[in-house]
Chains A and B, each alone.
Chain A
Amino acid sequence: MDPMFHRHLVLAYTVTWVIQLGYLAYIVYKWKAGKN
């Protein structure tokens, strides 16, 4: 496979997970902040 194709495929899946898990972390933070 073209190295750029491989790099961009890995990057796209990684970025998706980082953004989605980042949002989950933000919700957990809001939930914990509201409990105190």
Chain B
Amino acid sequence: MKLFRWLWPVLTIGLLAQGFYVAMFVVPPDKDQGDIFRIFFYHLPSWFGMAIFFAINLGASITYLIYRHTNSSRSLKADALAVSSAEMGVVFCTVGLITGSLWARPVWGIWWTWDERLTSTLVLYLIYVAYLLLRRFAAGPQMQTLAAVMAIFGYADVPIVYMSTRWWRTQHPAPVFFGGPNAGVDPRMMPAVWWNLAAWLAWGILLVSFRYAVAYRDQLAEQKAALRALEMAG
């Protein structure tokens, strides 16, 4: 654990530096879009990060619901992981929406369009912002249960976002992975894709582990305070 505490941040910083270097100075500019295409190397990892951390949030929420009456320690840990991963997912989603918009303005000539991919992503973003607001402004085990149920329903939008470019004719470009014969990026650009995917996932894991430790500590303190209040009342 001590090794992780020091090695992981060092590894993450190294990956981020390498990812930036490869994206900016190693891979060639796109033949149609030129250098603006380099936004993609930060845009794509944001969506991967979002999908992974929302999936972790789903798993943690289900775990919380299973153990909330039988195993207090496990349910607290699951709830701490749920809030940490949801926050990280929202951060990645924010980055993905903004970088996408910054790319769209010079390439499409517009900041935003209400096509299926963009709209379903915005809905997903709003669902998880609502989830975090619920957690922020309500309190107690009922809030945790409500939040866990909301997370399960909220995650139903993730497959819709993923499939939107396959189900409908959208303005958004075809998927990079598993998108069919004409999809994907120039293979010469793939090193920038892989380095930045690894770098931003390492960054996400680092921040979620840190946030998890803070959330779990706060929950233990809250539980202790509630027990003390009960003792005093009794």
Contacts and interface: CB of A to CB of B under 8 A. Distances in A.
Interface of A: 1-2, 4-6, 8-9, 11-13, 15-16, 19-20, 23-24, 27, 30-31, 34
15 contacts: A4-B106, A5-B36, A5-B106, A8-B102, A8-B106, A9-B36, A9-B38, A13-B39, A15-B95, A16-B99, A19-B91, A19-B94, A23-B87, A27-B210, A34-B214
A30 B84 CA distance: 12
Interface residues of B, number: 29
B102 A5 contact: no
Contact residues of A: prevailing secondary structure: helix
B35 interface: yes
Nearest to B33: A5
Contacts of B98: 12, 15-16, 19
What are the 8 A-B residue pairs with the smallest beta carbon separation, nearest first?
A5-B36, A12-B39, A12-B102, A12-B99, A8-B102, A31-B214, A23-B91, A4-B106
B68 interface: no
Contact residues of B: prevailing secondary structure: helix
A4 B211 CA distance: 37
